[in-house]
Chains A and B, each alone.
Chain A
């Protein structure tokens, strides 16, 4: 089974900051990598699919990059509504493993 590892596990930042979250797969997954945002008490929400494709309705300040084993999610200018937990997930094979999550908090 493929394992997904995110870093950091938590991150403090300020409104307007540029933030990058990293996700690493235990083996190559090509570009089969998705990113989700989850706010407390809510279901996850798809942000990025296929490593860099922005889901409809997601602000353009979110972007994804990477292929193979190393991926990044970047938020170019943090907004108050972006403080949440972010998860990567591979869709290369079953089981569709998630990363452990990165909690983005207000500094």
Chain B
């Protein structure tokens, strides 16, 4: 059974850092595109970052230069290192696996989310 379990969220001051983790089971993280999506309170879904199976990484403009996505194949875990945090980064952060059918990608499994609050 595929499962994604996020952790690492919490309250942090503006300018601070946090590292989110997403522990995967039932599949190999290194063999899939893995994504972080966030949702500010009462708002819609915002794509944040992806790491491809080959290791390439991409970021939303809003987090570029501040966030880093990575994975640990030995732990089958995805990470999101978040530095220079701002109030507008306050959100629930979800990790998601990208499944594929006939070259179409879609997020077929999601974690339960971990809440990040940036406030003094």
Contact = CB atoms under 8 A, between A and B. Distances in A.
B107 A55 contact: no
A44 interface: yes
Interface in A40-85: 43-46, 49-50, 53, 55
B111 A96 contact: no
B interface, over-half SS: strand
Interface in A75-100: 87, 89, 91, 94-100
Contacts, number: 64
Interface in B45-75: 45-47, 50, 58, 60
Contacts of B44: 87, 98-101
Contact of B106 (A46, A97, A100): A46
B46 A98 contact: yes
A95 B60 contact: yes
Interface of A: 31-32, 34, 36, 38, 43-46, 49-50, 53, 55, 87, 89, 91, 94-101
